[in-house]
Structure 1
Amino acid sequence: MKNSILFFFFLALVGCKTEKQKIVSLEEDVSFLASDSLGGRETGTAEERIAAAYIQERMQGLGLLPKGNAGTYYQTFTFKPKTDPHSEVQFGGGDSTITGTNVLGYIDNKAEKTIIIGAHYDHLGMGGQGSLYREGEAVHNGADDNASGVSVMLQLAQKLKDTLHGSNYLFMAFSGEEMGLLGSNYFTKNPTVALSTANYMINMDMVGRLREDKTLSISGTGTTPIWPQVLNSTNPGFKLVLQESGVGPSDHTSFYLHDIPVLHFFTGQHEDYHKPSDDSEKLNYTGMEMISAYIYAVIKELDDKAKLKFKKTKNESEEVPRFKVALGVVPDYLFDGKGMRIDGVSEDKPAQRAGLQKGDVVIQLGDSTVTDMMSYMRALSTFEEGNTTNVVVDRKGAKVSFEITF
């Protein structure tokens, strides 16, 4: 009965598009995908399939061609979920398998180059592994993560249709990202468009919380020599935080590993990350419009240019130290000052028990000076459970010292 109600709800929202094509706003897309009715869009669930049907209907309404399997918009894949977090997921049928569904739409401009524009649409369902919520099961709506990216992707499809003709465009809504980039990984091993034609890949994951200072993180800027020049020349006023590495915890990584230049757009973590409170009314839709326009400008700048040259980058994730303890904070990954700024403090963890607050900037941990995220992580990796040390923070211009026990 529940699935029937959800299906009719979906029909009510999108049925009007079959009568007359209309412009669907970013907010409308996010509101549907992040509604309680979709139960958090966990990979392989009936609710994720309803979200896939919505995205397929939107792509069809925009005039995108199906580019999944057998003339459909869908590319399904089955896999066995991880039991050992250090083992690789095995694709293929068998007992205890889950089926994910990528949704693919295509603009065929008869060009030699193809631009891949993607965003994952799955989320955490009712919580479970990956959730930072500690009060039992609840719907994790995932408005920022990542209904925001899907809605911007669909708006870009609307903008690119019948405007820029120097490339073909493949739009992809990935499944299985939260379980380990599964949908994008599967596509790159089973492409429905020849990867040899791929010029570059743009990934949007969590682009819904642009801050007042307009800080925007873009990763992958070292994957082709021209990225910094293009990004700076088309920048409409963002405070850019550019990171060279093509490897990161989102779907662009799968394409980078196949020697395709990538960009990943991200507006930063927040206290609602991987919690039920990541709701649609908290998004900055004006900021999302700005990001959409910026990406369009980047694509336009390269429309008549030659195919980009791929360049390998340092894998920064290989340098991340391993930890035996946690401070219990959400770092501000967009902070570009000296130290590690705290963007959120977890309940009943060492940081909260010691008195640290959101907005504090950690400048010393034990005997180590903290100048950035990497130096913070190196310092944290030296401690074990039960250790006690001092942490010094910059709190509104004043240096404050706390004793902290892990």
Structure 2
Amino acid sequence: MKKLMFLFVLVAFLSCKNEAKVAENKIKEDVVFLADDKLEGRQTGTQGEILASEYLIKRFETIGLEPKGTEGYLQSFSFKPKTDPHSEVEFTTNADSTITGNNVIGFIDNNVKTTIVIGAHYDHLGYGGEGSLYREKDKAVHNGADDNASGVAVLLNLASRLKIKNDQSEIKDKNNYLFMAFSGEEMGLLGSNYFSKNPTIKTESINYMINMDMVGRMKKDSTLAVYGTGTSPMFKQTLKSNNDKFKLVENESGVGPSDHTSFYLIDIPVLHFFTGQHEDYHKPGDDSDKLNYEGMNLISDYIYNIISDLDDNGELAFRKTKNESEETPRFKVGLGVVPDYLFDGKGMRIDGTREDTPAFAAGLKKGDVVVKLGDSTVTDMMSYMRALSVFDKGDKAAITVKRGDKTIDTQVQF
């Protein structure tokens, strides 16, 4: 009888041990830590960034990712701060007058030929500085909950889910996974640029790259912007067939103001996910209590399903896209508004205005849609920038906006 009881207990123990493990969702917990005042805005080269990188290393270790940096999980890079904003940054090994950042890199090795890179930058603006849109005189921590603790939290969630999936399945995925938390993005995509020139895996083995930058403020209409959709013929149909939650705004270009650009420029297909700018962008108000965590969970599910769907498609073909940044007009003045980059109607919708700006003085409000500026009709962001490019400081211009059902004609002075 005792032997029988022992066998029963042993079977029960083994049964519990083999029970499927479920990935723990720590998206909110990760954001709250990374966007805490104690990290002082995670500016590249500061103690706050070091604390963030140490946290990410612990999370990578807990998830079970292999180190894939140059020193464990870290890939350090040093550079001289730019004095000319139009020049390229100079990476250097000389310790004098340099800043050092750290990419944090982990790996799931499925012993296959190709690897998917999943990335998000974890640095932010510290106490503000050149990139800040905060106009008060006092110094304030720019916590960057949406920009970009949100992307890093979704990255960690995907890492956990993909690790458990491949550990428990007898048939592994047909790609390896490289997870990268980039530093130096706010200073000019420095961490991803450095990796593209000093990769810790062979770049020819990279199948495609997924980037998440500002995915924490999904609006009520569930709009999700996806950039890079033209960089591989497989992307558009895959995005469509897996979507039943979002109002997608697609952009084909592989070039944009985030880390996916560094991979596109070495001929790797890219997808960049983004929920849009807001009034707290690059300001102290970008805090963890303002994020849409339900929306972040939906985005994580969506990206996970896209990765799973593409797993049987082998190595994806790369396709060059039109570089919209080369066609962007140069302008000397601005309205002083935050554009709604997710707006897909006719015109340029304003997502926010700042005090002491031409827009504020003219009475323009959040939600107004600019349809005419000067002599130019505004149909989209590009036509808005073309219209803006003809004006100099001090010029006056007629402007027409739609505000709900009303059409308002007024004047701005730049």
Q: Displacement of 1:280 after TM fit? A: 0.1
Secondary structure of the residue aligned to 2:165 is coil
| Structure 1 match to 2:112 | 111
Q: Structure 2 CA distance, aligned partners of 1:23 and 1:397?
A: 47
Q: Secondary structure at the match of 2:54?
A: helix
Deviation at 1:180, TM superposition (A): 0.3
Quote the residue 1:213 is aligned against. 221
8 Å contact from structure 2 (residues 23, 160) kept in 1 = no
- Partner residue, 2:9: none
Map of 1:12 onto structure 2: none
The residue aligned with 2:103 is: 102
Measured after TM superposition, the shift of residue 137 of structure 1 is 1.4
C-alpha deviation, 1:162, in angstroms: 3.5
Q: Distance in 1 between matches of 2:359 and 2:223?
A: 26
**Letter matched to residue 116 of structure 2:** I
In 2, Cα distance between the equivalents of 1:182 and 1:22? 32
**Once the 2 structures are TM-superposed, how far is the Cα of residue 73 of structure 1 from its aligned partner?**
0.4
Distance in 2, matches of 1:228 and 1:302, equals: 12
Q: Which residue of 2 aligns with 1:163?
A: 165
Q: Give how far 1:166 is off.
A: 1.4
Tell me by how many angstroms 1:23 deviates. Answer: 2.7
Answering whether residue 51 of structure 2 is matched by residue 43 of structure 1, we say: no
The offset of 1:304, in angstroms, is 1.9
Is the 2:35–2:143 contact (alpha carbons within 8 Å) kept by the matching residues of 1? yes
Q: Where does residue 186 of structure 2 map in the other structure?
A: 178
Corresponding residue SS for 1:330: strand
> Which AA in structure 2 matches 1:219?
Y
> What secondary structure sits across from 2:313 in the alignment?
coil
Residue aligned with 1:184, SS: helix
Distance between the aligned counterparts of 1:163 and 1:324, measured in 2? 52
What residue number does 2:248 align with?
Answer: 240
5+ unaligned residues in a row in structure 2: which ranges?
A: 1-21, 167-172
Paired with 2:312 and 2:231, the residues of 1 have a C-alpha distance of: 20
Letter in 1 for 2:69: G
Of the three residues 217, 230, 237, the one matched with 1:229 is 237
Are 1:131 and 2:139 counterparts? no
Of 257, 262, 268, 2:265 maps to 257
Q: Deviations over 1:184-241 (max 9, x none)?
A: 0000111111111100000000000011110000000000011100000011221000
Which residue of the partner structure matches residue 83 of structure 1?
83
Letter in 1 for 2:133: L
The separation in 2 between residues aligned to 1:390 and 1:126, in whole angstroms, is 37
1:338 is matched with which residue? 346
Residue by residue over 1:10-53, the C-alpha shift from the partner in whole angstroms, topping out at 9 and shown as x without a partner, is: xxxxxxxxxxx983521100000000000000000011000000
Cα distance in 1 between the residues matched to 2:145 and 2:234: 32
Q: Secondary structure at the match of 2:51?
A: helix
**Alignment match of 2:151 (pick from 149, 152, 156):** 149
Q: Structure 2: how far apart are the matches of 1:50 and 1:340?
A: 40
- Distance in 2 separating the partners of 1:93 and 1:131: 29
8 A Cα contact 1:236 1:294, kept in partner: no
Q: Does 1:197 align with 2:209?
A: no
Q: What amino acid is the match of 2:207?
A: N
The 4+ residue runs of structure 1 with deviation greater than 2 A are 21-24
Residue identity in the other structure for 1:81: P
> Which structure has the larger Rg over C-alpha atoms?
2
State the number of aligned residues: 385
In structure 2, the partner of 1:63 is 64
User: How far off its partner does 1:389 sit?
Assistant: 1.4
How far 1:315 sits from its partner (Å)?
0.4
Q: Distance in 1 between matches of 2:381 and 2:261?
A: 21
Partner in structure 2 of residue 54 of structure 1:
55
Letter in 1 for 2:26: S
Q: TM-score scaled by structure 1?
A: 0.94
Q: Which residue identity is paired with 1:74? A: L
- Distance in structure 2 (CA, Å) of the matches to 1:112 and 1:302: 15
Alpha-carbon distance between aligned partners in 2 of 1:34 and 1:316, rounded to the nearest angstrom: 32
Larger mean CA deviation between 115-124 and 161-170 belongs to 161-170
Where structure 1 has 5 or more consecutive residues not aligned to the other structure, the ranges are: 1-20
- The answer to whether the 8 A contact 2:225-2:249 is kept is yes
**3-state DSSP of counterpart to 2:30:** helix
Q: Please give the alpha-carbon distance, in whole angstroms, between the structure 1 residues aligned to 2:165 and 2:280.
A: 37
Whether 1:328 and 2:328 are equivalent positions in the alignment is no
Separation in 1, partners of 2:365, 2:379: 18
SS state at 1:299 partner = helix
Q: What secondary structure sits across from 2:147 in the alignment?
A: helix
Shift of 1:358: 0.6
Counterpart CA distance in 2 for 1:220 and 1:330 is 23
CA distance in 1 between partners of 2:244 and 2:378 (Å)? 32
| TM-score, length-scaled by structure 2 | 0.92
For residues 251 and 87 of structure 1, the distance between their equivalents in structure 2, rounded to whole angstroms, comes to 18
